Amino acid sequence: MPPTETENPESNQLRCPWPGINDPIYTRYHDEEWGVPKTDSIALFEKLILEGFQSGLSWLTILKKRDNFRAAFHGFAPKRIARYTDKDVARLMNDAGIVRNRLKINATIDNAKAMLALSTHTSLSDFLWGFIDGRPIINRAKAFKDVPSQTELSKTISKALKKEGFRFIGPTTVYAFMQSTGMVNDHLISCPQHAACAKLQRTLPKTHNV
């Protein structure tokens, strides 16, 4: 069944028509996180990894396991993850609280190493936000069908990340990452969060923290 518009009972306006949006966890994520600009490199790294794990699954599944992911991957600290051994991989493969996919777990270790290598000359935040000169893209989609799953820019960023050694970061994954971290505002124009996120995006400082 195609997604339908879901009324926000608190604001009497329409939320974005995501499947499962009435789940309290998903509602809170939509209202408080999705599209809010994130510039902290560790937060961006976490989001990049979780978007990779989400591939083939619903984001709601990942949200429900997010705290478990954070505990299992030591708060997504790149220096810690980069030192993971086969013992850590085995531990993660036995952890029912996360998505147990060996390829994605190994990719996470490689991505931590890639982030550390990148950090010798720039931060992950500056690297990613540099593609849009620190200025979020504010779209004005009226319907769910008008929101793309990938763009030429997400293809460019995907290629650049792969060149730096990152894995499981195809253009669709990258675009979902851009939407969730506020690099792009893809809340529908009818959604109250479109204006709220746009306000934050327009006042975002161009200098970001590592």
pLDDT in tens, 174-186: 999 999 999 999 9
Residue 140 shares a structural domain with residue 172: yes
Tell me how many degrees the CA angle 50-70-88 measures, rounded to the nearest 5.
95
Residue 18 falls in the annotated catalytic set: no
pLDDT of residue 6: 44
**Which residues are within 8 A (CB) of 89 and not within 5 positions of it... i.e. 6 or more apart?**
102, 105, 106, 109
pTM: 0.91
Confirm whether 59 is a catalytic residue. Answer: yes
Shared-domain flag, residues 46 and 91? yes
pLDDT at 99 (0 to 100) = 98
Q: Can you tell me whether residue 43 is helix, strand or coil? A: helix
For position 48, what pLDDT does the model report?
Answer: 98
pLDDT for the residue 57: 93
Catalytic residue among 29, 34, 84, 175: 29
Residues 49, 64, single domain; the answer is yes
Assigned domain for 61 exists: yes
Q: Are residue 29 and residue 133 in the same domain, yes or no?
A: yes
How many domains in the chain? 2
Query: What is the C-alpha to C-alpha distance for residues 184 and 35, in angstroms, rounded to an integer?
Result: 7
Q: What is the pLDDT of residue 205?
A: 84
Note the pLDDT tens digit of each residue in 1-42: 233 344 444 443 589 999 899 999 999 999 999 999 999 999
Residue 8, strand partner residues = 13
Q: Write down the pLDDT at residue 208.
A: 54
Pair (188, 145) in one structural domain: yes
Query: Which CATH number belongs to the domain containing residue 136 in this structure?
Result: 1.10.340.30
Same domain for 34 and 127, yes or no, is yes
Active site residue 51: yes
Instruction: Say whether both 27 and 131 belong to one domain.
Output: yes
Residue type, 139: N
Q: Which domain holds residue 109?
A: 41-118
The verdict on residue 114 lying in a domain is: yes
Catalytic residue among 51, 84, 129, 175: 51
Query: Is 170 within a domain?
Result: yes
59, 84, 129, 175: the catalytic one is 59
Predicted pLDDT of residue 207: 56
Same domain, 48 and 112: yes
Nearest 5°: the CA angle 11, 12, 13 is 85
Q: Which helix (H) or strand (E) holds 15?
A: strand 13-15
User: Do both 127 and 151 map to the same domain?
Assistant: yes
User: Contact at 8 Å (CB) between 3 and 174?
Assistant: no
- Report residues of the chain scoring pLDDT below 70: 1-13, 206-210
Amino acid 5: pLDDT: 42
Domain boundary among 100, 118, 136: 118
Tell me, yes or no, whether 78 and 182 share the same domain: no
Domain assignment of residue 80, yes or no: yes
